[in-house]
Amino acid sequence: MNAFRLAGDITHLISILVLLLKIYATKSCSGISLKTQELYAVVFLARYLDLFTDFISVYNSVMKVVFILSSVAIVWCMRRHRAVKRSYDKELDTFRHYYLVGACFVFALLVHEKFTFQEVFWAFSIYLEAVAIIPQLVLLQRSGNVDNLTGQYVFFLGAYRALYILNWIYRYFTEAKFSRWIACISGLVQTALYADFFYYYFLSWKNNAKLNLPA
């Protein structure tokens, strides 16, 4: 465990806490894509199938459980909680996310480290995580405004991605056996998607204008 990875995990956790706080404090999920949140829940459920078969550390197991529970809790709130449900921007959140799930699964069947149930689902979760933010970006683009907490949520998610890349660079140079090319390439794609968002988010903040993402 290096400092970059720990900081990456912490910012990832903070992003989820910020989102839960926003939903809990404002009883509103306006500006949040349910589809992205559903994809994240699927990502964690598919990736952490090893929770009962491989023990890494207490830290690792606890974080896995926290990520699964918090992502499922967010989806549950947005779907079932009466007040929160009402604030959901359903007509703006129209990205067909099932296509992403299907495409990532087919890709995982083709590109994986080993053709086993667990390995295919692991690769699937990595690919799906890389593109899971797309419905959220589409929603932000359509609504054209980002409230503070939603902005911070996306900011912390982006920080997590950037720190994980530093972690991989660090591990590449310090660990003889480190080769996670599936995770690294997918991570770069994911970070590029965020970089695009950050650029327009920065512009809108600088000009004090509404966030305007190009199609």
Q: Which amino acid is at 16?
A: I
Identified binder of other proteins from the candidate list 4, 9, 84, 139, rule CB under 8 A: 9
Minimum distance of other proteins from residue 25's CB (angstroms): 26
Rg of the Cα atoms in the chain:
17
Report, in Å, the least distance between residue 194 CB and other proteins.
18
Q: Judged by CB under 8 A, which stretch of 14-22, 57-65, 75-83, 134-142 contacts other proteins?
A: 57-65
- Kind and range of the H or E run holding 60: helix 58-80
Half-sphere exposure of 18 (CA within 13 A, CB side): 18
Say which residue the tokens 């970070």 belong to.
Answer: 191
Dig out the tokens for 201 from the structure: 């988010």
**Least distance in angstroms from the C-beta of 40 to other proteins:** 13
Q: Based on CB atoms, which residue is closest to other proteins, 175 or 196?
A: 175
Instruction: Decide whether 16 or 146 has the Cβ nearer to other proteins.
Output: 16
Q: Which of 114, 115, 174, 214 binds other proteins (CB under 8 A)?
A: 114
Q: How far is the CB of 5 from other proteins (least distance, A)?
A: 7
Query: Which of 23-31, 49-57, 98-106, 137-145 is the region at the interface with other proteins (rule: CB under 8 A)?
Result: 49-57
Q: Which two tokens stand for residue 76?
A: 């549950």
Q: Which of residues 174-203 bind other proteins (CB under 8 A)?
A: 177-180, 183
Count of residues interacting with other proteins (CB under 8 A): 21
Per DSSP, the residues of 117-163 read HHHHHHHHHHHHHHHTTHHHHHHHHHH----HHHHHHHHHHHHHHHH
Return the closest-CA partner of residue 129 out of 6, 20, 44, 66. 44
Among 7, 45, 63, 213, binds other proteins (CB under 8 A): 63
Q: How many CB atoms within 10 Å of residue 116?
A: 10
Q: Is 165 in the site for other proteins (CB under 8 A)?
A: no
Buried b (16+ CB within 10 A) or exposed e, 154-175: bbbbbbbbbbbbebbeebeeee
Q: Smallest distance from the beta carbon of 20 to other proteins, in angstroms? A: 18
Rounded to a whole number of angstroms, the minimum distance from the CB of residue 67 to other proteins is 7
Sites of contact with other proteins (CB under 8 A): 5, 9, 12, 50, 54, 56-57, 60, 63-64, 67, 113-114, 122, 164, 167, 177-180, 183
